[in-house]
Each structure stands twice: as C-alpha cells, then as structure tokens.
Homo-oligomer: A and B are copies of this chain.
Amino acid sequence: MIDKLIEKIKKTHAPIVVGLDPMMNYIPEHIQKKAFAEYGETLEGAAEAIWQFNKEIVDHTYDLIPAVKPQIAMYEQFGIPGLISFQKTVDYCRQKDLVVIGDIKRGDIGSTSAAYAAGHIGTVKVGSKEYMPFGEDFVTVNPYLGTDGVKPFIDVCKQQKKGLFILVKTSNPSSGEFQDRLIDGRPLYELVGEKVAEWGRDCMGESYSYIGAVVGATYPEMGKILRKIMPKSFILVPGYGAQGGKGADLVHFFNDDGLGAIVNSSRGIIAAYKQEEYAQFGEEHFAEASRAAVKAMAEDIDSALKRNK
C-alpha cells in the first residue's frame, strides 16, 4: 500500500491528503436541511448530512489527490449512525481508488491492539467465514504502550500489505508536555522516532517502509531531525493551514527524492468556502471551493519544494 501511495503522489504531483473531519458547522445549510427533512434532527440525520458532504467533496477532488484521512472521532461522536457514515466514506473513497488513512489513533495492550488492527486494516473470522470490517489502507497508532501495543498492528500490515502512521510528535500546542521531555539528553519524540525506524526496517515497500510516523507541521525544526532519524519512514504531517503550518515550513519533512512526506489539511480544504479567499464560490458550490483549495495547497508545497532544491 505504501507503493500505491507513492505512485499516486507521483501521478498527482500532490503529496497531500484531504482530512475528512466534518464538523457540523462546516456543512452547508442546504445539505443539513435536506438530511433533516429526510431523517429528522436525529443522529441519523447528522450522519446523512456528513455523508452527503463528504461525497460531494470527494467527487470534486479525487482526481487531484492521492489519499484521504477521515478522522473517526468526528463520526463516532454521532454514535452508531455516525460510524455507519464513516464506513460509507471509507468504502466510497476506496471505490474512487483513493488511499484511505483511518485517523483512529488506537493503541492498547497486545490482544486488544490485535482486535483494533483486525477491525480496521485486517480481517476477522466468524465461524468458517472471514470478513474485512472497516477496510482502511493505513491507520494512525498511539505508541504510549510500547512495542507490544504496536506489534499486532505491524503483523496485520505484513499480512495484508497495509500500513501505519505512528504518533511521534503531534501538532497540538501542548504536545511537548510529555513528548518533548528529555531522556538522557534527548526528547522522548526522538526515542519514539527511533523505534518507528526500527519497527519499519523489515516492513519495506520498494523505496519506503510501510511503517510511517506522524509529525506535526507546526514543529518544522523537529521535523528536520526526525526526517534524519527515520530516513525510510513516510511522515504524515498534520497541522497545515488552519493549525498554522505553511508550505515553506514543510520542506524538511521531505527527502531529497521529493518524497517521504504527505501533508494533511482538513478544515482548510473541506471548509474552504468559509474563507474569504474562496467566498466567491458561495455555500452552494462548497465542493468547488475545496477543489480550488486543493490546487492552491499542492502549488504551495510544490513551489516550496522547488525553491529548496
């Protein structure tokens, strides 16, 4: 799957991923109204609005991008109906041949991590039958429990040719509270980064490992160091746009081959129509605003990478 991701990045010239994290206040009124007319102001109504919103954005952007990253929390908050919309979104994006990164940030003790891995990127057995429940291509994983919490995910990746992005340095303001603490003179996130490199060593695709890392765009200097610690790991970079990251901050997350990183933007793309820059599209044409925002983001990153050569 890492090879497919890289191939699609090369084809689209866009090392970007669209974060499908639909907050209700991003969803245009006409979509909400239609969903509520059909299902009432219910969890089912909210879930339908999310699904219709996602579908329209995917339809307007899938040819420009290699991957999407639905954030499962935004669906899980609406209970079972919300999770059905998550499932529909994953299925639809796979039909469109997009690589799907499930942003689930799971992580637990061994047997429990194994269950999460089976459910999201693997298969489960029921009697004599086998099923693929959620079917994402990659998932994000929390490393706080150590190797035996991460290993079951890696095992499933090996069997299924799937991949991981493991949290190393997150994009949020207080990520440093634990992640930056010095251990033998070096921050915790570097030790986690070293583990990611080690775990990924025997999980190689053609040129990169399918065990990747999450490193926030908001910490470019740390990205530079982590890039060296994990030379063969793909880095998923959240925090572009709304969280403050810019194209110029991102060059050090990439290797000299122009690869090695994929940058996520959520709000900046899916709610682009709310920005002054794209206001001319109007709420009705929100997905066209998203398409324009994808193009601008790809251009911003591409020119930053070129300037850096």
Contacts and interface: CB of A to CB of B under 8 A. Distances in A.
Contacts of A36: 126-127
Interface size for chain A: under 10, 10 to 19, 20 to 34, or 35 or more residues? Answer: 35 or more
Nearest to A144: B144
Contacts of A77: 115-116, 118-119, 124, 133
A147 to B, nearest CB: 4
A192 B178 CA distance: 8
Interface in A51-80: 71, 73-74, 76-80
Given A21-B112, A112-B74, A116-B77, A174 B188 contact: no
Interface string A144-168: 1111110000000000000000010
Given A73-B116, A77-B116, A77-B124, 15 more contacts: A36-B126, A41-B128, A41-B129, A46-B126, A73-B112, A77-B119, A80-B83, A83-B83, A105-B107, A145-B170, A145-B172, A145-B175, A146-B174, A147-B174, A183-B183
Interface of A: 21, 23-24, 32, 36, 41-43, 45-46, 71, 73-74, 76-80, 82-84, 87, 105-113, 115-116, 118-120, 124-129, 131, 133-134, 142-149, 167, 170-179, 181-184, 188, 191-192, 195
